[in-house]
């Protein structure tokens, strides 16, 4: 990581806003940005109240803005009522947007289907009526385990319409991860598909649900609703299973949205922390949608004519805020893509931008890095070979984007006429927090630049005091904001401990290291805890360690990250077996077994890139694993630190060999 930081901080290039994007931008010019920031600073309550009144439709208007009485369990607009689905769909009904395309869906094999806002409204209403007739209601929890599809959006919106709290589980997670989440939320409903299709291959989903339910503890599940994606084989449980099309069939095309308290939980989304199991991040109805909509307007400077494409999966927060909710609330036409960027070839993204005339494109640095590498070796699929002239804004999310990748994206995809928006945010923040704005911010490659109006980001030291420019520290948000995490589902103590440590004087601790430069720009340095970021996916080292030690052969395991040119970070696992140290072919074989095991326990994204065996782990005399040293060993660097406190220095040599 240190090389990355140095190269970032010597970055001196600055790209002023493109003059053609400034005049009619949602926030036009630096002065307008400052006016909004000052309004928010002078009277945060008045600012947020104005935003919430101007941007959301309320069934019961709120009088109260921020309720701090139970801080840090903040509540926003808590005496108001509204419905998220009504704010995404119904509000467009008697407007020209009703007949506008809401979603352009492209399947893995390139088939395109579209749905208008009116049709989407009807589909959501029919499915919601079906759910209602099955007895599902506000406050119940539903697991959604679906591939990227119009149906995934329908399922999420239908839940929101009834106040059913959804918890979407990424289709790449194993049955075990699915089980853990279903038990933790106390799900009464699961919505899944027979199979998902990626790179021309069908991968079963329904059978993973069957396995998860068979693990026990999910007896509260009353229905498993199955979207028929491929017609592939499924085992049918008459007691639980229903086809999604049967649930919707013959249902009325109107379903009254349930008025919900502003603080009613909209969804729970699991994400990794530094200790223990993934945490269920709970978001609230009004605050979340307000920020989803405002950031689509401000950051992406949304226009009625836009074709918006966020390439994330709905299994991650990016797919919640910038697929399932924000773009719909803004009335945009958006692309939803089932497949992967490399199938049938590495030009797939560029071809799709060209085909659908995408104007705003939002993806992850990992995709940019791997596609730039691929483009260099297969020139026929280089972005330069495609007509990308429809693009006006390109964005990045999920991990630090290194200046090289930034420049490649800016030059080859944006053709030096689209701003690269490096958006910093988290599952917990609900939406963008620190990001350039197309009509405002001079760009610096590798910096997420400045906080949005109303967001009080700062870099502080261990005592919670703000540090000066050029000094590293903890990234915090000093004042609450409407889209913030409300709690960790079922674990309020962990919520307080994870995000509001007492020394930080009430500020929200993001878990990232950062520093500001002389212009006040933020530069994110990566996580300060034991959370890895592999291809933009958050992964707790503890989770991978627990998975490894659950294997019959493994006595002990320690997992660290090391920098990787494509995936940002890669998982390196140091493993002590219960048997003698394996060598040669045998070591390779066991390493493969362990990798497959982790994929089965958590999901393929958690597979260690390298496994290193030793007779022991490097520990201090008091028995603490020296992760600091393991990180150095993982990078293949020589150890220059003092190892005199180490119980067993010879281990480091053994551990330098990778399998």
Binding site for ligand WTA (CB under 6 A): 271, 316-318, 397-400, 422-427, 448, 510-512, 524, 527, 533, 538
Cβ distance to ligand WTA smaller for residue 223 or 538? 538
Taking each helix axis from N to C end, the angle separating 175-185 and 584-601, rounded to the nearest 10 degrees, works out to 30
Query: Cα–Cα distance between 513 and 511 in angstroms, integer?
Result: 7
Cβ distance to ligand WTA smaller for residue 75 or 537? 537
Helix (H) or strand (E) holding 280: strand 279-284
Cβ distance to ligand WTA smaller for residue 284 or 397? 397
**Smallest distance from the beta carbon of 543 to ligand WTA, in angstroms?**
14
Number of alpha carbons in the 13 Å side-chain half-sphere of residue 422: 26
Cβ distance to ligand WTA smaller for residue 185 or 524? 524
**Smallest distance from the beta carbon of 534 to ligand WTA, in angstroms?**
11
Cβ distance to ligand WTA smaller for residue 13 or 578? 13
**Smallest distance from the beta carbon of 514 to ligand WTA, in angstroms?**
9
Query: Cα–Cα distance between 446 and 164 in angstroms, integer?
Result: 39
Query: Cα–Cα distance between 24 and 510 in angstroms, integer?
Result: 33
Query: Cα–Cα distance between 269 and 430 in angstroms, integer?
Result: 11
**Smallest distance from the beta carbon of 400 to ligand WTA, in angstroms?**
4
**Smallest distance from the beta carbon of 366 to ligand WTA, in angstroms?**
11
**Smallest distance from the beta carbon of 44 to ligand WTA, in angstroms?**
24
ω before 72 within 30° of 0 (cis)? Answer: yes
Task: Give CA torsion, residues 527, 427, 150, 174, to 10 deg.
Answer: 60
Cβ distance to ligand WTA smaller for residue 255 or 448? 448
**Smallest distance from the beta carbon of 365 to ligand WTA, in angstroms?**
8
**Smallest distance from the beta carbon of 423 to ligand WTA, in angstroms?**
5
Helix (H) or strand (E) holding 228: none
Helix (H) or strand (E) holding 87: helix 84-88
Tell me which DSSP letter residue 442 carries. Answer: P
Cβ distance to ligand WTA smaller for residue 212 or 532? 532
**Smallest distance from the beta carbon of 553 to ligand WTA, in angstroms?**
32
β-pairing, 189-193 with 279-284? Answer: unpaired
Cβ distance to ligand WTA smaller for residue 197 or 434? 434
Helix (H) or strand (E) holding 363: strand 360-363
**By Cβ distance, which residue is nearest to ligand WTA?**
427
**Smallest distance from the beta carbon of 538 to ligand WTA, in angstroms?**
5
Query: Cα–Cα distance between 231 and 627 in angstroms, integer?
Result: 48
Among 281, 290, 366, 357, CA closest to 325: 290
Cβ distance to ligand WTA smaller for residue 381 or 425? 425
Strands (E), 425-507: 457-460, 473-477, 487-488
Cβ distance to ligand WTA smaller for residue 90 or 422? 422
Among 288, 301, 394, 294, CA closest to 349: 394
**Smallest distance from the beta carbon of 5 to ligand WTA, in angstroms?**
12
Taking a C-beta distance cutoff of 8 angstroms, is the pair 431, 481 a contact?
no
Answer positive or negative: Cα dihedral of 637, 640, 642, 646.
positive
Taking a C-beta distance cutoff of 8 angstroms, is the pair 228, 196 a contact?
no
Cβ distance to ligand WTA smaller for residue 370 or 427? 427
Strands (E), 285-359: 307-310, 333-337
Cβ distance to ligand WTA smaller for residue 363 or 412? 363
ω before 338 within 30° of 0 (cis)? Answer: no
**Smallest distance from the beta carbon of 429 to ligand WTA, in angstroms?**
8
* Alpha carbon 379 to chain centroid, angstroms: 31
Answer positive or negative: Cα dihedral of 285, 291, 293, 296.
negative
């Amino acid at each position: 990581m240190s090389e990355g930081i140095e190269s970032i901080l010597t970055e001196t290039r600055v790209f002023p806003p493109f003059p053609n994007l400034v005049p009619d931008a949602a926030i036009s010019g630096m002065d307008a940005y400052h006016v909004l920031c000052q309004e928010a600073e002078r009277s945060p309550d008045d600012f947020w109240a104005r935003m919430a009144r101007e941007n959301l439709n309320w069934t019961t208007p709120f009088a109260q803005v921020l309720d701090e009485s139970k801080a840090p369990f903040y509540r926003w607009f808590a005496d108001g009522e509204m419905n998220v689905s009504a704010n995404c769909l119904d509000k467009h009904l008697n407007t020209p947007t009703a007949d506008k395309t809401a979603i352009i869906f492209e399947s893995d094999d390139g088939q395109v289907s579209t749905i208008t806002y009116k049709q989407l409204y009807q589909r959501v209403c029919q499915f919601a009526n079906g759910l209602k007739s099955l007895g599902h209601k506000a406050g119940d929890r539903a697991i959604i385990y679906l591939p990227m599809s119009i149906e995934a959006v329908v399922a999420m919106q239908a839940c929101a319409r009834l106040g059913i709290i959804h918890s979407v589980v990424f289709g790449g997670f194993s049955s075990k991860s699915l089980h853990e989440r279903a038990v933790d939320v106390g799900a009464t409903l699961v919505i899944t598909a027979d199979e998902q299709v990626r790179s021309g291959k069908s991968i079963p989903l329904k059978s993973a649900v069957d396995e998860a339910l068979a693990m026990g503890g999910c007896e509260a599940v009353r229905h498993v609703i199955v979207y028929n994606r491929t017609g592939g084989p499924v085992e049918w449980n008459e007691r639980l299973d229903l086809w999604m099309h049967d649930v919707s069939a013959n249902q009325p095309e109107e379903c009254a949205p349930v008025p919900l308290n502003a603080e009613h939980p909209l969804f729970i989304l699991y994400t990794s922390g530094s200790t223990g199991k993934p945490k269920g991040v709970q978001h609230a109805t009004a605050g979340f949608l307000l920020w989803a909509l405002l950031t689509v307007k401000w950051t992406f400077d949304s226009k009625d004519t836009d074709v918006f494409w966020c390439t994330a999966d709905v299994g991650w927060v990016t797919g919640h805020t910038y697929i399932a909710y924000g773009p719909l609330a803004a009335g945009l036409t958006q692309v939803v893509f089932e497949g992967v960027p490399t199938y049938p070839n590495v030009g797939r993204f560029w071809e799709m931008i060209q085909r659908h005339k995408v104007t705003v494109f939002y993806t992850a640095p990992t995709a940019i890095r791997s596609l730039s590498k691929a483009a260099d070796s297969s020139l026929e699929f280089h972005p330069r070979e495609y007509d990308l002239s429809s693009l006006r804004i390109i964005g990045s999310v999920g991990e630090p984007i290194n200046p090289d990748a930034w420049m490649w994206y800016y030059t080859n995809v944006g053709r030096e006429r689209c701003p690269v928006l490096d958006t910093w945010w988290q599952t917990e923040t609900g939406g963008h927090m620190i990001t350039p704005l197309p009509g405002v911010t001079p760009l610096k490659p590798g910096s997420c630049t400045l906080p949005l109006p109303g967001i009080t980001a700062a870099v502080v030291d261990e005592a919670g005091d703000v540090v000066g420019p050029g000094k590293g520290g903890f990234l915090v948000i000093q004042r609450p904001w409407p889209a913030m995490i409300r709690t960790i589902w079922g674990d309020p103590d962990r919520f307080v401990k994870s995000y509001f440590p007492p020394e930080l004087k009430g500020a929200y601790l993001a878990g990232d290291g950062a520093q500001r430069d002389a212009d006040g720009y933020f530069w994110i340095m990566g996580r300060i805890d034991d959370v890895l970021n592999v291809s933009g996916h958050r992964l707790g080292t503890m989770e991978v360690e627990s998975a490894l030690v659950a294997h019959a052969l493994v006595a002990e395991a320690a997992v660290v990250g090391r920098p990787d040119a494509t995936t940002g970070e890669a998982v390196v696992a140091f493993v002590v077996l219960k048997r003698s140290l394996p060598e040669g072919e045998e070591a390779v074989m066991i390493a493969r077994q362990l990798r497959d095991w982790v994929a089965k326990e958590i999901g393929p994204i958690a597979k260690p890139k390298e496994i290193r065996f030793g007779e022991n782990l490097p520990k201090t005399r008091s028995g603490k694993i020296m992760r600091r040293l393991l990180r150095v060993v993982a990078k293949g660097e020589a150890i220059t630190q003092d190892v005199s406190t180490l119980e067993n220095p010879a281990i480091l040599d053994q551990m330098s060999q990778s399998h």
